[in-house]
C-alpha cells in the first residue's frame, strides 16, 4: 500500500494530494473552508476515518488548520523566510536595526511574554558558554508574534559578569538589540554557530505557539562568540515549523 504508484497509494493520501492540488491551483484560497469529512466521504466513497486522515495530512504539513466547530480551513498565514546569514550581519544590528527586520519586511511583529531575570547556567548552557554549571547568567525570554500568529519563542543566556549592569538586563535593550549592546561593552559578536533540530513540541510549547495538533517545531540553538573565542550568548529558539522557511545564502 505504500508504493509510489498512485493507484497503490493509501486512499487518504490520494485524497490529500487532490486537496493540495486544489489549493495550489487556487480553487481553495487562504482562509477558505475545505470539504469536510462528510463531503469527502460522499465524493470519494470512503469511510470517515479515511476522510479524517486526509484532512490530517494537510494540517500536519501546515497547509490547513482546524477551527473548533467550524471545520478545516486553508491556512492564511504566509510562511516567514528566515535569512540565516543576512540577519546576523554586523551591518544589520550594528546600524541599530533588529535582526528580525531582515525577515519580516513590512509585516507586523509584536514581541510579548518578555522575561528578563537573573539565573544560573544549566549544564547544557554552561557547556555552550564554556563556564561551570551554576555560573550566574542573565536570561532573556520573549515570544515573537507575526501578523497575529505566535511563530517563535526564544531564550537567551548571557554571562552575568558582562551584562549585569547594562541595558541588556532591561526589558528593552535599545536599538540594535543585544548584539549592539555587547559591542558597546567590548564583546562584539564576530562569529555565530547555529545547531538545528526538528522534533515534536512539549505541551507547553504547543500552547505557547498555538500549534495545530501534529505540528513539529524547529529548535535552533545559536551561540555568539566575541573576538578571542569567548561565547557571549546562547540563544535557544523554538519555531513553529509550519510558519518558517529557513534560507541560507552564501558563496562557495
Q: Provide mean pLDDT across the span 191-197.
A: 94
- pLDDT tens-digit profile of 9-19? 899 999 999 99
Numbered ranges of CATH 1.10.10.10 in the chain:
6-74
Decide if domain 80-247 falls under CATH 3.40.1410.10.
Answer: yes
| pTM for this predicted structure | 0.75
Judge contact between 82 and 246, C-beta under 8 A.
yes
Q: Which of 49, 239, 232 is nearest to 146 (CA)?
A: 239
How does pLDDT run across 173-192, given as a tens digit for each residue? 999 899 999 999 999 999 99
Apex 138 CA angle, 208 and 168, nearest 5: 95
Report the pLDDT value the prediction gives residue 173, as an integer from 0 to 100.
Answer: 93
Which residues of the chain are in CATH 3.40.1410.10 domains?
A: 80-247
CATH topology of domain 6-74: Arc Repressor Mutant, subunit A (1.10.10)
Residue with cell 484560497: 29
Q: What is the mean pLDDT of residues 147-162?
A: 94
Q: State the pLDDT confidence band at 4, using cuts at 50, 70 and 90.
A: very low
Amino acid at each position: 500500500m505504500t508504493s509510489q504508484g498512485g493507484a497503490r497509494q493509501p486512499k487518504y493520501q490520494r485524497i490529500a494530494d487532490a486537496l493540495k492540488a486544489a489549493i495550489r491551483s487556487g480553487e481553495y484560497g487562504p482562509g477558505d473552508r475545505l470539504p469536510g469529512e462528510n463531503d469527502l466521504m460522499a465524493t470519494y466513497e470512503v469511510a470517515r476515518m479515511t476522510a479524517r486522515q486526509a484532512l490530517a495530512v494537510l494540517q500536519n504539513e501546515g497547509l490547513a488548520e482546524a477551527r473548533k466547530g467550524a471545520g478545516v480551513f486553508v491556512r492564511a498565514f504566509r510562511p516567514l523566510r528566515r535569512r540565516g546569514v543576512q540577519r546576523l550581519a554586523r551591518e544589520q544590528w550594528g546600524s541599530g536595526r533588529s535582526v528580525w527586520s531582515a525577515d519580516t519586511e513590512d509585516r507586523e511583529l509584536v514581541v510579548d511574554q518578555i522575561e528578563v531575570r537573573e539565573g544560573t547556567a544549566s549544564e547544557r548552557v554552561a557547556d555552550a558558554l564554556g563556564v561551570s554549571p551554576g555560573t550566574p547568567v542573565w536570561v532573556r525570554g520573549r515570544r515573537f508574534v507575526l501578523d497575529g500568529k505566535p511563530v517563535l519563542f526564544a531564550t537567551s543566556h548571557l554571562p552575568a559578569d558582562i551584562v549585569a549592569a547594562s541595558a541588556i538586563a532591561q526589558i528593552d535593550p535599545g536599538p540594535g538589540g543585544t548584539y549592539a549592546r555587547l559591542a558597546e561593552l567590548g564583546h562584539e559578536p564576530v562569529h555565530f554557530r547555529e545547531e538545528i533540530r526538528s522534533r515534536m513540541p512539549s505541551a507547553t510549547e504547543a500552547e505557547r505557539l498555538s500549534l495545530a495538533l501534529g505540528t513539529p517545531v524547529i529548535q535552533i540553538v545559536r551561540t555568539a562568540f566575541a573576538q578571542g573565542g569567548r561565547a557571549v550568548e546562547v540563544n535557544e529558539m523554538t519555531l513553529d515549523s509550519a510558519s518558517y522557511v529557513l534560507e541560507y545564502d552564501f558563496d562557495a
